[in-house]
Amino acid sequence: MHVLIATAGSHGDVAPYTGLGVRLRQAGHTVEMAASARSAELVRRSGLGFRPLPLDRYAASGTGRGPGESGRGGDLTKVEQMRLARELAPDMADAVTDACASGAEILLLSGSLAPLGLVAAEGLQLPCVGVFLQPLAPTREFPPVIVGLPSLGPYGNRIAGHGAQALLARAYAPGVRHLQRRLGVTPDALERRRATWPVHHGFSPAVVPRPADWRPGLEVAGYWWPSKAADRTPEPRLAEFLQAGPPPVYVGFGSMAPGDPERLGLLVTRALRLAGVRGVVQTGRAGLSVEGNDVLTVGEVPHARLFPQMSAVVHHAGAGTTAAGLRAGVPAVPVPVMLDQSFWASRLTALGVSPGRVPFRRLSAEDLAAAIRKAVDEPRYRQRARQLAALIDAEDGAGRVLTAVERLAG
């Protein structure tokens, strides 16, 4: 079976699918990924085929992501992001369709490309499975994850969820209409596909239980993890630093680029000093660089290797980084910046692995230091983190997707 996995976004929006792709390949399937050209090396290191999608204009805008993804969004307003997405949608729709038409027999779609990919799947009569990193379907149990709202109550949450879906549909509408004309897909046929297609969510039911009001076919599969083959060799200084003292605290903001890196670096330095802890700071897209006897700045280091050696992790609460911290069984201090990050930060707090979020827009060295100190000093956070890690370790999210693929193939 020739499987095409289509996704859009930066490293954290692509890496989990490399592990999923490897699992499918090990089961005897041919697997390709369609993503931004920036992800080509990441995908090919995993031994998967690669097809580029025309996302360079979005990357050049300063966001590097599509609507609904857990990205930066610092250089453009949300209105401007939506406008740019509408402009790019027809080109992306054609690229996804062309990738599907080049031998794919089954299509796996991330949430960011689902509106376009579903039209392509219907027009080409391809079996299709959603593989989402976030719970995007409306529910009474929590508000829409991409807008960072607090709970609005059961009815308010569901209404807001439908509103968020309407906004995304509007962003993709030009691409959807273009592809319907190109492939001859009627509105009724597309609606039937949308109403019944299977979607598997790549997070643990111990972290986000399946909402009771979701329709049949929406499942919580469990995490799928970045391919080990995609890991980079750790920096030589890191092992020496880790051996030179007690477990440090990790600080990193992934693909976020929130504000002045020099100012942020000084704030992080002061927070670590006030908390009295050693630190490993990941440069990331924020361009952080922190120097000191008790702090090491590193480049790209796989979280699966790094996080288990930390006493706590301070991060932006993106879906992938949140997952990596939970897998490692270490306490978290989430510093959400935008979109779904507030949702994951709330989950970390509700699960008892974090003393609470420190929102980036109100970030201070004193507040960050207090949260770090609490996460490190109070045993309950580490105990709960280890309990969750054991539950997550027993799951096989990629295996559940493999079963779904082979059921459709049969």
| pLDDT tens sequence across 196-221 | 999 999 999 999 999 999 999 999 99
Neighbours of 241 (CB within 10 A): 17
Tokens 């204009």 belong to which residue?
57
Give CA–CA dist 190/158, Å, rounded: 23
DSSP for 348-407? HHHTTS-S----GGG--HHHHHHHHHHHHH-HHHHHHHHHHHHHHHT--HHHHHHHHHHH
Give CA–CA dist 31/284, Å, rounded: 29
CA 120 to chain centre: 24
Predicted local confidence at residue 73, as pLDDT: 38
- pLDDT by 10-residue block (mean), the chain, 410 residues: 90 90 96 92 93 67 40 48 77 90 92 93 95 96 88 94 91 92 95 94 97 97 85 73 94 73 86 95 78 86 92 93 95 90 94 93 92 97 97 96 88
CA nearest neighbour of 372 among 282, 289, 264, 249: 249
What domains can be seen in the chain, in order of their start residue?
A: 2-223+396-409 (3.40.50.2000), 229-393 (3.40.50.2000)
Give CA–CA dist 45/93, Å, rounded: 26
What is the signed CA dihedral for 31, 35, 41, 45, rounded to 10 degrees? -20
pLDDT digits (tens, 9 = 90+) for 334-360: 999 877 889 999 999 999 999 999 988
The overall pTM is greater than 0.75? yes
Give CA–CA dist 365/271, Å, rounded: 4
Predicted local confidence at residue 59, as pLDDT: 47
Give CA–CA dist 146/42, Å, rounded: 26
Cβ pair 262, 290 in contact under 8 A = no
